[in-house]
Amino acid sequence: MSDRTTPAAAPDPAASSLGDTLAGGWDGHGDDLPPEDWGKRGGQRRTGTVWLFALFITAMALAHAWLSDDLTSQAFLAWATIFTAISFQALPFLVFGVALSAALTAFVPPSAYQRFIPAKPVRAVPVAGVSGALLPGCECASVPIAGSLIKGGVAPAAALTFLLAAPAINPIVMIATAVAFAGQPEMVLARFAASLLAAVVIGWIWVRFGRADWLRLPARPHSPGESRWRVFRESMLHDMMHAGGYLVVGGLAAATINVMVPREWLLTVAGIPVVSVLVLAALAILLSICSEADAFVAVSLTDFSPTAKLAFMVIGPIVDLKLIAMQAGVFGWRFVARFAPLCLAVGLLSTFLIGGLLL
Amino acid sequence: MNRIAQGLTLVLLGAAALTSTVATKLYLNWVKQGFGPFLIAAGVVMVLLGLLVIVAELRGERREAFADERDPAAEAHGGASDHGADPSGHGHDHSRAPAVAWLLLLPVIAVFVVAPPALGAYTVESTAGSSAPPPDQPRSGRFDDGLAEAGPNEVVAMDIRQFVMRAWIDEERLLAGREVELTGFAVPASDGEGWYLARLQMACCAADAVVNKVLITNEPAPEADTWWTVRGTWVEPAGEISDVSEHEFAVTEMESVTNPPDPYE
DSSP-assigned beta bridge partners for residue B231 = B181, B253
Predicted confidence at residue B9, as pLDDT, reads 94
- Closest chain A residue by Cα to residue B48: A233
Q: A156-169 and A171-180 helices cross at what angle (nearest 10)?
A: 40
CA distances for A2 relative to A7, A15, A28, B177, angstroms: 7, 18, 37, 36
Predicted confidence at residue A40, as pLDDT, reads 52
Task: Pick the more confident residue, B147 or B128.
Answer: B147
Task: Pick the more confident residue, B196 or A243.
Answer: B196
pLDDT (mean) for B188-199: 83
ipTM, two decimals, is 0.81
Chain-centre distance for alpha carbon B256? 24
Least confident of B48-62, B101-115, B139-153: B139-153
Q: Which residues of B touch A68 (CB under 8 A)?
A: 113-115
Q: How open is the CA angle A265-A267-A270, to the nearest 5 degrees? A: 125
Nearest to B126 among A240, A262, A332 (CB): A262
Predicted confidence at residue A215, as pLDDT, reads 85
Please list, in sequence order, all residues whose beta carbon lies within 8 angstroms of the beta carbon of residue A357, skipping any fewer than 6 positions away.
none
User: For A17-65, what is each residue's pLDDT tens digit?
Assistant: 444 444 444 444 444 444 454 445 556 777 888 889 999 999 988 888 8
Q: Which residues of A touch B80 (CB under 8 A)?
A: 213
Which of A237, A252, A326 should be substituted to probe chain B, the one whose Cβ sees the most B Cβ atoms within 10 Å?
A237
Q: Is the pLDDT of residue B136 over 50?
A: no
The pTM of the whole model exceeds 0.80: no
CB contact under 8 A, B49 and A240: yes
In whole angstroms, what is the distance from residue A204 CA to residue A161 CA? Answer: 9
Please list, in sequence order, all residues whose beta carbon lies within 8 angstroms of the beta carbon of residue A13, skipping any fewer than 6 positions away.
none
CB contact under 8 A, B4 and A78: no
Which of A81, A216, A292 should be substituted to probe chain B, the one whose Cβ sees the most B Cβ atoms within 10 Å?
A81
> If 0-12 CB within 10 Å is exposed, 13-18 middle and 19+ buried, where does residue A56 land?
middle
Contact A284, A320 (CB under 8 A): yes
DSSP-assigned beta bridge partners for residue B183 = B229
Which of B25, B205, B245 should be substituted to probe chain A, the one whose Cβ sees the most A Cβ atoms within 10 Å?
B205
> How does the average pLDDT of chain B come out, rounded?
78
Which of A37, A76, A332 is CA-nearest to residue A214?
A332
How many other C-beta atoms can be found within 10 angstroms of the C-beta atom of residue B18?
18
Question: In A132-227, which residue ranges form alpha helices assigned H by DSSP?
Answer: 139-151, 156-169, 171-180, 185-209
In whole angstroms, what is the distance from residue A316 CA to residue A281 CA? Answer: 7
Task: Pick the more confident residue, A43 or B73.
Answer: A43
Please report, in angstroms and rounded to a whole number, the separation of the first and last CA atoms in chain A. Answer: 50
CB contact under 8 A, B73 and A290: no
Please state the domain extents for chain A. 43-358
- Closest chain B residue by Cα to residue A32: B58
- Closest chain A residue by Cα to residue B126: A262
3-state secondary structure B128-187: CCCCCCCCCCCCCCCCCCCCCCCCCCCCEECCHHHHHHHHHHCCCCCCCCCCEEEEEEEE
Q: Is the pLDDT of residue B171 over 60?
A: yes
CB contact under 8 A, B116 and A77: yes
CB contact under 8 A, B122 and A80: no
Helix (H) or strand (E) holding A286: helix A273-287
CB contact under 8 A, A263 and B80: no
User: For B205-241, what is each residue's pLDDT tens digit?
Assistant: 887 788 888 889 888 888 888 899 999 888 887 777 7
CA distances for B138 relative to A115, A183, A284, B165, angstroms: 50, 10, 26, 9
Residues of chain A with pLDDT under 50: 1-35, 37-39, 221
Question: In chain B, which residue ranges form alpha helices assigned H by DSSP?
Answer: 3-18, 36-58, 61-77, 105-109, 121-126, 160-169
* Residue A3 DSSP code: T
Helix (H) or strand (E) holding B214: strand B210-216
Q: Is the pLDDT of residue B106 over 90?
A: yes
Q: Which residues of B touch A49 (CB under 8 A)?
A: 2, 4-5, 8
Task: Pick the more confident residue, B241 or B194.
Answer: B194
Calculate the dihedral angle through the C-alpha atoms of A281, A283, A288, A292, rounding to the nearest 10 degrees: -70
CB contact under 8 A, A184 and B225: no
**In this structure, what are the phi and psi dihedrals at residue B205, rounded to the nearest 5 degrees?**
-145, 175
- Closest chain B residue by Cα to residue A180: B203
CB contact under 8 A, A84 and B30: yes
Q: Is the pLDDT of residue B78 over 70?
A: no
Predicted confidence at residue A13, as pLDDT, reads 40
CB contact under 8 A, B110 and A267: no
